[in-house]
Amino acid sequence: MYNCYQQTPSDLSIKKQLSMYHISTEIKASNAHYLLEEVEYGHLNIRVGRENRCFTQALHDVTGLQLPKTSLQVVQNDEFRLYWISPDEFLLLVAVGREFEIEKKIRANIKNTDSANHYAILNVSSAQAFLKLSGSRAQSIIKKSTAYDIHPSNLPVGKAVTTTFAKTQVILCRTKEKDLNTTSNSEEYSIIVRRSFSDYVWRWIVDAGKRE
């Protein structure tokens, strides 16, 4: 009923270029104060209503995760991370190369094959980039880029917010809290951005990272 297939070549020697492949080799995104890195994951976009027990059970059987209980929440275990994106949209991050296997397993685990069982899963691993921003200047870079209140009381670890970032849109998370033993800002953030905005976001962060 659905076209679900392996999008990764079986020949692992075939050259793969992630979203930031070119820009990261052209412009260095780090200095003494911050570090920006692209991290590769398998990305599966999920559209499903929370009330679809059949799907949520299959998801749990395969990943061990329940859908986030509240909006903006991120749930995770050792193998998977699941972001709330909108009331009926979620993003499942999996280890690189497992996206086809996981998609197939979830679809196969759905016991109720009644066509009324409604959901969508889609491999979007090429469509978006996962960026990790760390260093003492990370907080100031994020503050320059979004109007969203990133104070730890409003954006704690475990919360993911889809918001504006400069002139584009990202999924923003705090991934590491400040180390209270140091005076410097030592948080870490993750930013998920659509591929076609890669160069723009990379260059923007480099610009923002040049000064405090």
Partner 1 sequence: MLHLSCHTGGRPIWSDALCAFLADDFNKEMQCVGAANGQYALDKIIEESVIAGINAAKLSGNENHDFSSNVNKELDILKPKVETYLASKAQAIFHIPHAKATFMAPKQFVDFQLDVTAAGIELAVAEGFESIEHVKRYTALGFGTDQGKISNINGMAIVAKKLKQSIAETGTTIFRPNYTPVTFDAIAGRNVNSFFDVERYTPLHREHIKLGALFEDVGQWKRPWYYPDDNETMNEAVARECLAVRSGVGLLDASTLGKIDIQGKDAREFLNRVYTNAWSKLPVGRCRYGLMCGEDGMVFDDGVTACLAENHFIMTTTTGGAAHVYQWLEIWHQTEWPELDVYFTTVTDQWATMTISGPKARFLLAKMTDIDLNPESFKFMDWREADVVGVPSRIFRISFTGEQSYEINVPANYAVVVWEKLLEYGQEFELTPYGTGTMHVLRAEKGFIIVGQDTDGSVTPADLNMGWAVAKNKPFSFIGQRGMNREDCLREDRKQLVGLKTKHPNQVLPEGAQIILQPNQPIPMKMVGHVTSSYFSAALGHSIAMAVVKNGINKLGDSVYLPLDNGETVEANICSPIFYDPEGAKQNV
**Three-state secondary structure call for residue 211:** coil
The closest alpha carbon to 132, from 168, 175, 90, 163, belongs to 175
- Spatial strand order in the sheet of 42-48: 74-76, 81-86, 89-94, 42-48, 119-123
Interface region with partner 1, contact rule CB under 8 A, candidates 29-37, 65-73, 146-154, 194-202: 194-202
Taking residues 54 to 93 in sequence order and writing x for each that binds partner 1 by CB under 8 A, - otherwise, the string is ----------------------------------x-----
Residue type, 37: E
Euclidean distance between the first and the last CA atom of the chain, given in angstroms as a whole number:
53
Query: Cα–Cα distance between 88 and 48 in angstroms, integer?
Result: 5
Residue 14 interacts with partner 1 (CB under 8 A): yes or no: yes
Candidates 30-38, 56-64, 70-78, 203-211; binding stretch for partner 1 (CB under 8 A): 203-211
* 77 vs 196, beta carbon nearer partner 1: 196
Q: Over the Cα atoms of the chain, what is R_g?
A: 18
Chain positions 112 to 171 lying near partner 1, rule: CB under 8 A, are 115-116, 118-120, 122-128, 144, 166-168
Binding site for partner 1 (CB under 8 A): 1-3, 5-11, 14-19, 22, 45, 47, 88, 115-116, 118-120, 122-128, 144, 166-168, 194-200, 203-204, 207-208
